Amino acid sequence: EIKGLLFDLDGVIVDTAKYHYLAWKKLADDLDINFTEKDNERLKGVSRMRSFEIILEIGGVTMPEEEKEKNCTKKNDIYLEYIYQLKSDEILPGVRKFLEDARAGGYRLALGSASRNAKLILEKLGITDLFDEIADGTIVSNAKPDPEIFLKGAELLKLPSDSCAVFEDAAAGIEAAHNAGMYAVGIGTEENLPEADIILPGLNNITIEDIVKKLQE
């Protein structure tokens, strides 16, 4: 029986990918690396450092660890300028209602995001109170597809893996959910998320009951 719901942040609750892109783009320009919006797709769900390493690979650039750290901090400072401006109306369509209804239906909700800025983003969107627990990039060391983030989320919710369902927009996140022994609901397209147990274009016009029924068919 599904009792816990774990939500990825970027791509499921809010489209922060566009701000990540703008920040990485600025940094890449400074480093004379040609980084495109298409390249940015590869960074979804990926940790900050790993994202930077992918950008360096694209540019064929290497640099010492210390300098990589500095650039990651620089990127985050730029990213935060966008996040400080984030408004509650940027929450993706139907998400607030979906979360509220799921809570009212007795489900326990947790965030399961790689972002170290997750708490700030939830505050900005005004939805912190809708989550019972928050598992984010500040408490895990292994990035998706490692199951750590979702296992942490389930542990915080005090639920076994097999009673949890994960909502994810990234292939690595779907893989992480399965590695954790959880159901995986893909937000996106069949083409991008072939491994998901079910695929939805978003969380509007659907209830958690509909989803649970489909998952358990």
Bind-site residues for substrate: 8-10, 24, 43-48, 51, 75, 113-117, 144
CB of 103 to ligand B16, least distance (A): 20
Upper half-sphere CA count for residue 19 (Cβ side, 13 Å): 20
161 interface partner picked from Mg ion, ligand B16, none, CB below 5 to 8 A per type: none
Tokens 């998320």, residue located:
193
Least distance from ligand B16 to the Cβ atom of residue 77, Å = 11
Task: Specify whether 197 is catalytic.
Answer: no
- CB nearer ligand B16, residue 73 or residue 216: 73
Cβ-based nearer residue to Mg ion, 67 or 195: 195
Measured from the CB atom, the residue of 44 and 124 that comes closer to ligand B16 is 44
115 binds ligand B16 (CB under 6 A): yes
Q: In this complex, which beta carbon is closest to Mg ion, that of residue 170 or of residue 208? A: 170
Tokens 């640099």 label which residue? 63
181-210 residues near ligand B16, rule: CB under 6 A:
none
User: Does 20 participate in binding ligand B16 (rule CB under 6 A)?
Assistant: yes
* Strand segments (E) across the chain: 4-7, 108-112, 133-135, 164-168, 183-187, 198-200
Among 137, 145, 181, 202, binds ligand B16 (CB under 6 A): 137
Binding residues for Mg(2+): 8, 10, 168-169
191, with CB counted inside 10 A (0-12, 13-18, 19+), is exposed
124 binds ligand B16 (CB under 6 A): no
- Tell me how crowded residue 57 is: count the other CB atoms within 10 A of its CB: 12
- Counting other chains too, the contacts that 212-216 makes at CB distance below 8 Å and 24 or more residues apart are 212/2, 212/165, 215/2, 215/165, 215/183, 215/185, 216/2
Cβ-Cβ contacts under 8 Å for 5 (sequence gap 6 or more): 102, 107, 108, 109, 110, 164, 165, 167, 208
Binding-site sequence positions: 8-10, 24, 43-48, 51, 75, 113-117, 144, 168-169
Output the smallest distance, CB 196 to Mg ion, in A.
Answer: 13
Whether 143 contacts 163, CB under 8 Å: no
Q: Quote the DSSP letter at residue 132.
A: S
Judged by CB under 6 A, does residue 47 bind ligand B16?
yes
Active site residue 10: yes
Binding site residues, ligand B16, CB under 6 A: 8-11, 20, 43-48, 51, 76, 113-117, 137, 170
Hey, which residues are catalytic here?
8, 10
